[in-house]
Structures are given as structure tokens and as C-alpha cells.
Amino acid sequence: LVDTGDELPFVDEPALLLGQYLSALDILTAEEEENLHVRMLKGALALGHTRVVFKPHPSAPARWSRLLEKEAEKLGADLTVLDTPVLAEVLYQRMRPALVVGCFSTALLTASALYGLPVARVGTGPLLDRLTPYENSNRVPVTIVDALLPELTDESAVNEQRRSMDVTALTDLVRAVGFAMQPKIYPDLRPAAETYLTRHLNHHTRRYFKRKRLTSLALPGAVPAQLAFIPRNATVRRVARRARSLKRAVGR
């Protein structure tokens, strides 16, 4: 990795697109990831950025930038594809991007928190639904980026760098997701998870939880709203655990 900007092309205040090589993690197919990069490009152009730099993941095949290059030519964008592996932080210092766009790269959070750069996310919604198993370690960074950073297609949110929740709300969300992911490792988080789900589970936050997962853990939100009168107490949880045990026994 290059740790200085000496070998890099200089582009002043571009929109910087961050590649992650998600197909190598079996999160997306190669075609889906290429299309994700094109969405990044189109989203940046729609916000008025004409100078665009694409930073591919160091391990990603070089051919993956071809579709992006063709699309940029068609749309009249001034696209620069970096062919030298480089730290995102070096680009932040050297180019001072006008916008940093990515999926759920932690470099987005670094750009915003440490460099004061405008950021936008794209593609996190489908990933929340597709990540398997639920305890997939990528779920936490996807959740944080999705909850905290503006969506690329929301022009006003990107321009204002408007966040959908504050740090306290994000902490509560991560605790609830963390318990749902690893209830045996973090059993002490159950009360926090129950409180969060009781108070904050709605059409927006539902995306961070699977109903099947909530059901298996006897957590609030496991049943439709019209059945929410069922008591959420220790007895209910014991019955749920007994039902799961019987189901497993019958399946053997």
C-alpha cells in the first residue's frame, strides 16, 4: 500500500468512490458489485460532481473497473481509476474529496469523523436483508453505516450531512443487534435489547432485525402488532424455548 500521495494522480476535490470487493465475501455477486459501483457513479453525478475517483479494493480484479469506465464515458464523467493500492486516508489528505461514497466501508466513518468530509452510503439496505447467518460479523458495520450516514440518493440528507439517529440511539441499536446476533455470548444485553425493541421497533428500524430471529429469542417484535398483547415474560420465553426443543426433537 502506498502511504504517501507522491505516486498518485492529483484530482482536486473529486467525488471519491470506495470499492470493497464484497463478492469475495459472498455478499454480492461480481455482477451485482459492478452495478453497485455504477450506482455510486450515477449518484455522485446526480449530486453535481463531475470529477470522480474510483479506489478499488487492492484484491479486486482490474477488469472490474471496465463497466464503470464505460458508464463514465457514456455519461460524460471525468473518471480516474486508481491502479496503485493506497490507503483511503492518503486520498483524504491529498485530494480533499468533495464527497466520499461507499457501501459500508469503515473508511466512510473515518472520512466523516476524522477528516470532516461529506459522505454517503449506497446499497446497505439489501445487504441487511441478505447477510447470512444473522450473526455474520459484517452485520455490525453495515448496521452502523446504514443507521448513521445519509443515503446517496437523498440529496438533501447528503447536502446537509443529516444523520438519522444520534450516538445514544445508535449505541442502543447496536446493543440490541449485538444481543440478537450473539445471545449466548452477551446474555446481559437481553434487557437492553428488549427495551430497545419495545420502544423503537418501527418500519425503519425493522430492517435491522429478522422476525425469525426475534421469534427464536422470544424478543419483542417477534409477533405481528395485533398479537402484541401476549405477555413478554419469563413464562412466555420458557414456552418458546420448549417449543423450539420439541421442534428439534421431532426433526431428528
Number of domains in the chain: 2
- For residues 143 and 192, membership in a common domain is answered with no
- For residues 140 and 190, membership in a common domain is answered with no
- For residues 140 and 235, membership in a common domain is answered with no
**Residue 4 resides in a domain:** no
Range of the domain at 226: 167-251
- For residues 174 and 150, membership in a common domain is answered with no
**Residue 191 resides in a domain:** yes
Give the start-end residues of each E strand in the chain: 15-18, 51-55, 78-81, 99-102, 119-121
The H or E element spanning position 194 is helix 190-200
- For residues 151 and 194, membership in a common domain is answered with no
β-bridge partners, 99: 15
Which domain-ending residue is among 104, 133, 160? 160
Question: Whole-prediction pTM value?
Answer: 0.85
Which domain-ending residue is among 160, 192, 210? 160
Higher local confidence (pLDDT), 231 or 52: 52
pLDDT bin (cut points 50, 70, 90) of residue 192 is very high
Please classify residue 122 by burial: count the beta carbons closer than 10 Å to its beta carbon, then call 0-12 exposed, 13-18 middle and 19+ buried.
buried
What integer pLDDT is reported at residue 226 of this predicted model? 45
pLDDT bin (cut points 50, 70, 90) of residue 8 is confident
Question: In this structure, what CATH number is given to the domain that contains residue 107?
Answer: 3.40.50
- For residues 138 and 182, membership in a common domain is answered with no
Which domain-ending residue is among 160, 177, 201? 160
